[in-house]
Amino acid sequence: MKIVVCIKQVPASNDAKIDPETKRIIREGTSAILNPFDTYAIEEGVRLKEKYGGEVVALSMGPEKAMMILREAISLGADSAVLLSDRAFAGSDTWATSYALAKAIEKIGDVDLVICGKQAIDGDTAQVGPGIAAHLDIPQATYVMKVENVSSDSITVRRMHEDGYDICEMPLPAVITVVKDINTPRIPSLKRRLAAQKAEIPVWKPADIGAEVDKIGLDGSPTRVVKTEPPPSRNKKARRIEGSPPDCARELVRELRILNIL
């Protein structure tokens, strides 16, 4: 089974700033991490490989600095990694990004399953996974909380709902996006971490994946961010409860009941 896990580097802190001109996140000067939801995607890919055999390829698009998260993916169990990096990719929206990733997946070849985290914590769109499926014209299941079964030509998954779950069976190849309930990601061992530092990671440019330049970057992006505003600040009201510990506890419970929290 050949599995591609798509991952993204995102700003580490919650105080990422937005460029007022381009409306894009200012990534310079902020530390970056592997998108937390993608750790569950990597773990699921590695578990499926361990159960059914095959290989896991981690794939990301971004600046050279994104090599770091691909090494992290290898330390978490991916067998190899590929980075899409070129100025021509810069400014891609979710549609152009999913196009580029789909072209890379085609180049990797013979891929049975593509796994993404449910969304990235910076853009929060949850559109790239479904976009990849659309570009590759293969089935998709989003918000997957469990892989029930995999056969030679199909996959059965449990999709999370607010009110329960769906069981979906799809032919392979397919795309799934996963939620954090699906597994507990492993902690990388020192041995794997050291091996990952030495791994050779190819960097592919648009020509390497046969991408049409008018379908990537800003020009290939049908959407524009026209306005970005911070959410209105919440009116925080704090009340200090005074008294003996038992009295404070009683009063706290009473207040929480009034607010329908308990």
Partner 1 sequence: MRNHIKDKLYHIEILPPKQNSEKLEADIELFAEKYNRVMESGYCACITDNAMGHLSFQGTEMIEELELEVRPEQVMIHLNTFHTLEDLHNILDTCVAKGIKYLLVVSGDGSERLPKLQPADVGAGGKVESVTSVELLSYINRKYPGKFTMGVAFNPYEPPEHEFDKLKRKLDAGAEFIITQPIIEKNRVVDELLEKYPDVPVIVEAWMSKKLHLLSDAVGYEIPENTEFDPIETLKMLIKLYPNCGFYLSLLGFKTQFPLIKDFWV
Task: For the segment 98-137, give every residue that binds partner 1 (CB under 8 A).
Answer: none
Phi/psi region, residue 258 (left: phi>0; alpha: psi -120 to 50; beta: rest), is alpha
Choosing from 108, 179, 193, 201, the residue that interacts with partner 1 (CB under 8 A) is 193
C-alpha dist (Å) from residue 28 to 23, 32, 59: 14, 10, 22
Site stretch for partner 1 (CB under 8 A), options 52-60, 133-141, 184-192, 211-219: 184-192
For the chain, state the CA radius of gyration: 21
Q: What is the dihedral of CA 32, 34, 35, 37, to 10 degrees?
A: -160
184 is a site residue for partner 1 (CB under 8 A): yes
Residue 244 within binding range of partner 1, rule CB under 8 A? no
* Nearer Cβ to partner 1 (134/195): 195
Q: Which of 154, 197, 223, 228 binds partner 1 (CB under 8 A)?
A: 197
Shortest distance in whole angstroms from residue 31 CB to partner 1: 9
CB-nearer residue toward partner 1: 187 or 258: 187
Token duo for residue 120: 């990235």
Contact status: 187 vs partner 1 (CB under 8 A): yes
Q: Contact between 173 and partner 1 (CB under 8 A)?
A: no
DSSP classification of residue 18: B
What is the residue whose two structure tokens read 């309930």?
181
Cβ atoms of 90 and 229 closer than 8 Å: no
Among 191, 227, 236, 239, binds partner 1 (CB under 8 A): 191
- For residue 249, state whether it binds partner 1 (rule: CB under 8 A): no
Does position 228 interact with partner 1 (CB under 8 A)? The reply is: no
Q: Is 65 among the residues that bind partner 1 (CB under 8 A)?
A: no
Give the H or E element holding residue 163.
Answer: none
Select the residue interacting with partner 1 from 51, 166, 171, 194 (CB under 8 A). Answer: 194
Beta-carbon contacts of residue 149 (< 8 Å; ≥ 6 apart): 155, 156
Of 51-59, 85-93, 140-148, 180-188, the segment contacting partner 1 by CB under 8 A is 180-188
Rule CB under 8 A: choose which of 188, 206, 217, 220 binds partner 1: 188
Give the residue with the Cβ less far from partner 1, 32 or 147.
32
Q: Which helix (H) or strand (E) holds 201?
A: none
Angle at 59 between CA 56 and CA 62, to 5 degrees: 160
Opening angle at CA 103, ends 126 and 144, nearest 5: 30
- Which residues contact partner 1 by CB under 8 A? 184-191, 193-194, 197
